[in-house]
């Protein structure tokens, strides 16, 4: 496997696990990680010996979302968040959904913002008891992206998607399982072993049938995913040029409540 800067690919028999490795930043997603995740997905897709793929984070987080230290607007800036989504995030999300191999997200800690989207883009989601899911976009004046506006209602229903998106509150792993966002919740100490057993079971299964099942489910629940990602990008572009977004990022950086004005 090729060395990458922010992502590691660990091979164990017919299983490959992609691990986000920016633990000091809670695996916040930056430009380099976008490049590395795309490269990792291309690599595992091209290897016929790999029959199942795990996705997890190093350290105490799965992914804390977009790296706001590099993604916030500068004074007088006119950010195009839509272009950022199309270039950085959407290719990874589509790559996961189109990968003809089962993907299991092993959510070891917070899955926030686009990190929540990344986890829910997997076929199966196994979460540690201490993990939580958070659509934090609204807290900085943005809307869900990375496919969250498709994945959450498909898994949990429109009402719960509205609650997560509009209130921007944490959903703990147990509640996430009750809502259908995740498939299994396990003790944190058991996550690696439980994940390995599930991935081994999938790797030992009928590869072509798994790929066919994935195509079926995509056709049923994600038939409009590409169009939805485009819609997210268009609306996020609008939100990225609001005063509320600038205030939301400033408040996040300064660790104070945001004062939104609706402008």
| Alpha-carbon dihedral angle through residues 189, 199, 1, 229, given to the nearest 10 degrees | -100
More confident residue, 209 or 68: 209
Average pLDDT value for residue range 77-99: 92
Which pair of structure tokens corresponds to residue 213? Answer: 């099942």
More confident residue, 237 or 71: 237
More confident residue, 78 or 25: 25
pLDDT in tens, 136-194: 999 999 999 999 999 999 999 999 999 999 999 999 999 999 999 999 999 999 999 99
Name the nearest CA neighbour of 9 among 51, 62, 63, 54.
Answer: 54
- With both helix axes pointing from N to C terminus, report the angle between 31-46 and 90-98 in degrees, rounded to the nearest 10: 20
Look at domain 7-189+206-254 and name its CATH class. Answer: alpha beta
Name the nearest CA neighbour of 108 among 125, 124, 87.
Answer: 125
State CA 199 to chain mean position distance.
19
pLDDT in tens, 74-84: 444 668 999 99
- Give the residue extent of every domain in the chain: 7-189+206-254
Name the helix (H) or strand (E) containing 53. Answer: strand 52-57
pTM of the model: 0.94
- For tokens 């485009």, the residue is 230
CA distance 90 to 78: 21
């Amino acid at each position: 496997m090729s060395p990458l800067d922010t992502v590691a690919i660990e091979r164990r028999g017919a299983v490959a696990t992609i691990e986000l490795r920016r633990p000091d930043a809670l695996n916040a997603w930056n430009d380099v990680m976008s490049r590395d995740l795309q490269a990792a997905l291309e690599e595992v897709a091209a290897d016929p010996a790999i029959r199942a793929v795990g996705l997890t984070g190093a350290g105490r987080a799965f992914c804390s979302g977009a790296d706001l230290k590099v993604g916030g607007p500068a004074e007088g800036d006119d950010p195009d968040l839509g272009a950022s989504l199309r270039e950085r995030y959407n290719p990874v999300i589509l790559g996961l959904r189109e990968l003809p191999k089962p993907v299991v997200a092993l959510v070891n800690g917070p899955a926030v913002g686009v990190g929540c989207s990344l986890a829910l883009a997997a076929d199966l989601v196994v979460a540690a008891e201490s993990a939580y899911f958070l659509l934090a976009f609204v807290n900085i004046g943005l809307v869900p992206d990375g496919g969250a506006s498709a994945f959450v209602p498909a898994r949990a229903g429109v009402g719960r998607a509205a609650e997560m998106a509009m209130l921007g509150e944490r959903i703990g792993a147990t509640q996430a399982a009750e809502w259908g966002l995740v498939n299994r919740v396990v003790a944190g100490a058991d996550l690696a072993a439980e994940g390995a057993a599930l991935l081994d079971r999938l790797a030992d299964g009928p590869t072509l049938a798994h790929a066919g099942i994935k195509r079926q489910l995509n056709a049923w629940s994600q038939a409009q995913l590409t169009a939805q990602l485009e819609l997210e990008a268009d609306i996020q572009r609008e939100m990225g040029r609001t005063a509320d977004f600038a205030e939301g990022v400033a408040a996040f950086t300064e660790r104070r409540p945001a004062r939104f004005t609706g402008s």
